[in-house]
Amino acid sequence: MLNKVLKQKFLHRVTRGSRGAEFWDDARVVACVGNTIGIIPEELRPRVYEEMADLAGKDGVLVMVYWNARWFGDACLNFYHANPNLCGKFDGGSVDFKNTMLTTPMGYRTKWTGVDEARALMEDLGMEIISLREKGKGIFVAARSF
């Protein structure tokens, strides 16, 4: 779906005033930052990763920035619980520490990612990791196709 939308916006052929050809002929950086991937429904995430890797192509780079699972408990208490206008009120039953997931009664759902999990996700896509850094509450991953 991602590639289909972009192929409609950035045509492969050169037309007057079009920048489409340059988009497809150049290396692409495809990025997903913050909690974006974490709030995508779990059953859709594999397809989203595949689409992003496909869009990056052989010459591009896939960049992911995750909320660090190591900080999940702190976030549940000091961010999500402290800001009920964001995801609604919830109790401990909404928190899955083993899988670092929060699912609130109002339907808000988030998944935080660990370093090993981030590495495995990229490797499962057949991507070579260029950089994987844990910095504070974030995990930064840059990867490219083999």
- Report the candidate in 80, 81, 83, 88 with the shortest Cα–Cα distance to residue 106: 88
What are the two backbone dihedrals, phi and then psi, of residue 129, each rounded to the nearest 5 degrees? -80, 120
Predicted confidence at residue 52, as pLDDT, reads 93
pLDDT 10s per residue in the chain (146 long)?
Answer: 777 787 777 666 666 666 556 667 778 899 998 779 999 998 999 999 999 999 998 899 999 999 999 999 999 999 999 999 999 999 999 999 999 999 999 999 999 999 999 999 999 999 999 999 999 999 999 999 98
